[in-house]
């Protein structure tokens, strides 16, 4: 595996690549969820590029940009073991040599869920992902289902801008107790870590109830999850929402249309997210129920 730090060098290196190029964009501090994306790309593509870039544009004031966990040596080992051909690790100065004069603005899809409490976040995500797509020019890009709103926005961006890239959604990987794998999990204290699995457990409980016909309204789903969080007093709910998926439209009366049930919860200074996508139909677009 070759580690590359500059745009010119990675473009030159990829200019001779033949066949399909798969990219796995990350902010580093890789965990098995990231590794599964790399392995998925390795199975399908002739060349695999992993990018590591902690993007300042997607962090708001008082967020964790400066303390976001970083360990490039460990990341390089994991990426190589998973089958990456190139690891692209640009600096902020390389990606943004001057303050951006032009960037992308996301409308509609970004004004709810994480976008509601992190204004400008998805503008930063869309801008940096577009830059990476233009630099790498992949045929396929791999993203995890855990960040379902991000996934929906990137899929929409690719369609709206006619980018010749196939976006490949991949299932959320979880710890043995169900907690979604995340680089931010390292922030959790011992007691916070014990309570954090309530995110996924609450989602499992409401989807089982939905399968049994216990709820007919989205508000009942949301209220049920709020009630369950009384078992985890350290968890401060940012949001619990149910929307249609992938267009993220409000819904009250549940039907056969797929819905996303998503939540964000703070444990101390650590903000965790999770979701499931549910449908009454036998063939659902979700990866996990």
From first to last of its 289 residues, the chain has per-residue pLDDT tens of 999 999 999 999 999 999 999 999 999 999 999 999 999 999 999 999 999 999 999 999 989 999 999 999 999 999 999 999 999 999 999 999 999 999 999 999 999 999 998 999 999 999 999 999 999 999 999 999 999 999 999 999 999 999 999 999 999 999 999 999 999 999 999 999 999 999 999 999 999 999 999 999 999 999 999 999 999 999 999 999 999 999 999 999 998 889 999 999 999 999 999 999 999 865 444 444 3
Instruction: Give domain status of residue 281, yes or no.
Output: no
Radius of gyration of the chain from its Cα atoms, rounded to whole angstroms? 19
Same domain, 205 and 62: no
Same domain, 157 and 187: no
Question: 170, 197, 216 — which closes off a domain?
Answer: 170
Cα 193 to Cα 36: distance, rounded to the nearest angstrom: 23
Active site residues: 34
Cβ 20 vs Cβ 140: under 8 Å:
yes
Q: Find tokens 């969080």 and name the residue.
A: 229
Cα 125 to Cα 68: distance, rounded to the nearest angstrom: 16
pLDDT of residue 122: 97
Same domain, 155 and 235: no
For residue 280 the two structure tokens come to 């009454």
Instruction: Give domain status of residue 113, yes or no.
Output: yes
Task: Write out the binding residues for (R)-pantoate.
Answer: 58, 150
Task: Write out the binding residues for ATP.
Answer: 27-34, 144-147, 173, 181-184
For residue 254 the two structure tokens come to 């549940």
Angle between helices 72-82 and 32-44 (to 10 degrees): 40
E strands, 81-188, are: 86-88, 140-144, 166-170
Q: Is 105 exposed, middle or buried (0-12, 13-18, 19+ CB in 10 A)?
A: exposed
pTM: predicted TM-score of the whole model, two decimal places: 0.92
Containing structural domain, residue 234: 183-275
């Amino acid at each position: 595996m070759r580690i590359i730090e500059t745009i010119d060098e990675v473009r030159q290196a990829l200019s001779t690549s033949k066949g399909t190029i798969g990219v796995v964009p990350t902010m580093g501090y890789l965990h098995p969820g990231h590794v599964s994306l790399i392995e998925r790309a390795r199975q399908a593509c002739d060349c695999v590029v992993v990018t590591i870039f902690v993007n300042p544009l997607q962090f708001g004031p008082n967020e964790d940009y400066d303390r976001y966990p970083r360990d490039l040596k460990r990341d390089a080992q994991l990426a190589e073991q998973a089958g990456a051909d190139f690891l692209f690790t640009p600096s902020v100065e390389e990606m943004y040599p001057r303050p951006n004069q032009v960037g992308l603005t996301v409308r509609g899809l970004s004004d709810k869920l994480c976008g509601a409490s992190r204004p400008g976040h998805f503008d930063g995500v869309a801008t940096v992902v577009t830059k990476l797509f233009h630099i790498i020019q992949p045929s396929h890009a791999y993203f995890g289902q855990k960040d379902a709103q991000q996934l929906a926005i990137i899929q929409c961006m690719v369609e709206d801008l006619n980018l010749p890239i196939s976006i490949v959604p991949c299932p959320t990987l979880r710890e043995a107790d169900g907690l979604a794998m995340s680089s931010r999990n390292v922030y959790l204290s011992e007691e916070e870590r014990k309570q954090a699995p309530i995110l996924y457990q609450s989602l499992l409980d409401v989807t089982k109830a939905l399968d049994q016909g216990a709820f007919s309204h989205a508000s009942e789903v949301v209220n049920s999850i709020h009630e369950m969080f009384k078992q985890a007093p350290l968890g401060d709910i940012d949001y619990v929402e149910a929307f249609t998926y992938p267009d993220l439209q409000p819904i009250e009366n549940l039907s056969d249309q797929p819905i996303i049930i998503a939540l964000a919860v703070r444990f101390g200074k650590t903000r965790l997210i999770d979701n499931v996508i549910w449908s009454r139909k036998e063939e659902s677009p979700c990866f996990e129920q």
